[in-house]
Homo-oligomer: A and B are copies of this chain.
Amino acid sequence: MKKKYLMTPGPTPVPAEVLLTQAAPMIHHRTPDFSAAFVEAIEGLKYVFQTETSDALLFASSGTGAMESSIANCFSAGDTVVVCRNGKFGDRMKQISEAYGLSVIDLAYEWTQVVDPADVATALEENPGVRGVIVTQSETSSGVLNDVKTVGAIVREYPDCVLIVDSITGIGAVECKADDWGLDVVMTGSQKGLMLPPGLAALTVSQKAWKACERSNLPKFYFDWKRYKKSFDKQTTPFTPAVSLVLGLNESLRMIREEGLENTIARHARLAEATRRGCEALGLALFAPPEGRGSAVTPVWVPDGVDGKAIVKIMKEKYGVTIAGGQDDYAGRIFRVGHLGYFGEFDIITTLAALEMTLDELGFQFERGAGIRAAETVFMGE
């Protein structure tokens, strides 16, 4: 027997309280019981998205389904959109936009850079008629946090341009205020800050986004927002929902409400800071730049002379701690510690301790215990 620790940015650990809901007997979805649960879930989602003026929609799909839905519902063939990308998921938004025949103004950055809102402002000024700006708030691939608040203030000035924010690993981990910041569409997935198994995706739709939806002519059915809205007016779903996950969502939303969203976000900030300082104390370099580091995941450069894949492998096989490797160009060059969702201080201690023992085994030179000491310093508020 080896105790296992899931330290990845999604799927994330599911609290036992939520897991148990998944083992409850099945109920039918066209019943008052399910309708009541569904309405509660939608209200809870509006709380975590910090919106009162947008609608919240819920799909049985992974987060990519929500990403695709935002393209298929907001635009028409030939529309021009600005895609800001500095990681794998920004790249995906560009791919989806192109798959739907949109014309993409490509604001591409290195994965280690943040998106510069001034570039968005320039792109909108230089290209009249842009219909949308798409930006990833929290890049799961790089740990970079983009300043969607400032982007929101820019896009707000363009009445026919919607701002679509992929906050799949942002929601519940970092501040993300749909209403206050003017974010027209904000999305997340169940297996992230919502502490559920994968299989649900949620997003918000502002009045501006509904206006865009009205003129959209792209083909859609399963992800057709209007069908979800029309059904929600009758407290139901257009297609069979993922019943168990919706019931589980209410349990995790209850836990978030009990903690208070601001406290949830503060906890994530503290855990992220401890992870970062712990890694730096071991002599490791952080991947994301100081001006934009999220609280969902901490990517770390593999030090020279150390086999990056061996770090992930030893952590998992010898210590039972699953962390993520790098994606695409960064496979083997970085590793990523997730601390998104159901995480506490000792999960970070555990991970840092496993990392210390792993790096030692791999011959990396550092002071054992230094990572833990740095994390404790953060936790003690010093």
Cα–Cα distance between A4 and B239 once the two chains are bound (Å): 24
Are A13 and B28 touching (Cβ within 8 A)? no
Interface string of A203-235 (1 = CB under 8 A from B): 000000000000000111111100000000000
Are A95 and B221 touching (Cβ within 8 A)? yes
Known: A240-B198, A244-B199, A322-B31. A14 touches B22 (CB 8 A): no
Is A181 an interface position by the 8 A CB rule? no
Is A245 an interface position by the 8 A CB rule? yes
Interface string of A87-106 (1 = CB under 8 A from B): 00000000110011100000
Interface centre among A24, A223, A240 (most CB of B within 10 A): A240
Residues of B within 8 A of A242 (CB): 62, 197-199, 242
Q: Of B6, B14, B60, B240, which one neighbours A28 at CB under 8 angstroms? A: B6
Are A23 and B26 touching (Cβ within 8 A)? no
Interface hits, A31-47 → B, CB 8 Å:
31
Are A240 and B65 touching (Cβ within 8 A)? no
Is A61 an interface position by the 8 A CB rule? yes
Residues of B within 8 A of A222 (CB): 61-62, 64-65, 67-68, 223
Interface size on A, residues (CB 8 A): 58
Q: Of B4, B12, B199, which one neighbours A60 at CB under 8 angstroms? A: B199
Are A240 and B11 touching (Cβ within 8 A)? yes
Residues of B within 8 A of A236 (CB): none
Is A10 an interface position by the 8 A CB rule? yes
Are B68 and A221 touching (Cβ within 8 A)? yes
Residues of B within 8 A of A239 (CB): 62-65
Interface centre among A28, A29, A72, A218 (most CB of B within 10 A): A28
Cα–Cα distance between A27 and B10 once the two chains are bound (Å): 10
Min C-beta distance of A245 to chain B, whole Å: 6
Interface string of A276-288 (1 = CB under 8 A from B): 0000000000000
Q: List 19 A-B contacts (CB under 8 A).
A: A8-B28, A11-B27, A13-B25, A13-B26, A14-B26, A19-B24, A26-B191, A28-B324, A31-B316, A31-B322, A60-B60, A60-B65, A62-B239, A65-B239, A68-B222, A191-B243, A197-B244, A198-B240, A218-B219
